[in-house]
Structure 1
Amino acid sequence: MIKHIVLFKFKEDLPAAEKKSKSEKIKAELEGLINKVETLRKMEVGININPDEDYDLSLVSEFDNMEGLKAYAVHPDHVKAGAGIREILEKRACVDYEV
């Protein structure tokens, strides 16, 4: 099994209300991928509740293997969700590991 973990930091100049609404929209879109991407086994998205921390949103997903993760990466619904994130993204951190 492969775990794919991503942390997202949004642009500093993004107003708090907009950050909140966009975070909720992105969370719903990413969690909705579980019903659209066949290789995706589990998806959990969390919105940071601690303003003292660096990242705003986290994603933890699971795949049977790296091929499944690669299929997810190019899936049209994932690409669409990613486009919405990129417009407000300052930085991203990612780790993939085998369980």
Structure 2
Amino acid sequence: MIKHIVFFKLKDRSAESVEATAVVLRNMEGKIPQLLSIEVGTDIIHSERSFDLALVTTVASLEDLQAYQVHPAHKEVIAHINEVKELSIAVDYEL
């Protein structure tokens, strides 16, 4: 099992903008067969060092992670994220 976690800091950090991007991320659920689980959270602290959104997904294998990365639904999300993000960081690890 692989856990894939990404944090996003948006250019527009308003509640409306953050929620709109959270919806885009959540819409991957059920569209990408490799995703065993998906969780999207929005920051509640709002400090200067905070990121606005967290995406936490689980896939069965490294091969499934690679398939997820190139899935058309994920590519649509990437296109949106590239327009709205200021910064993102990620980590992938085995469970």
TM-score greater than 0.5 by the shorter chain: yes
Is 2:6 the counterpart of 1:6?
A: yes
Offset at residue 54 of structure 1 (A): 2.2
Q: Percent same amino acid among aligned pairs?
A: 39
Is 2:88 the counterpart of 1:74?
A: no
Q: Is there any run of 5+ residues in structure 1 with no aligned partner, and where? A: none
Paired residues in the alignment total 94
Residue type of the partner of 1:80? Answer: E
Q: 1:45 aligns with which of 25, 40, 48?
A: 40
Q: Is there any run of 5+ residues in structure 2 with no aligned partner, and where? A: none
Query: TM-score of the superposition, structure 2-length normalised?
Result: 0.90
Q: Which residue of 1 aligns with 2:92?
A: 96
Q: Which runs of 4+ in 1 moved over 4 A?
A: none
Give 1 or 2: higher helix fraction. Answer: 1
Offset at residue 24 of structure 1 (A): 1.7
Query: TM-score of the superposition, structure 1-length normalised?
Result: 0.86
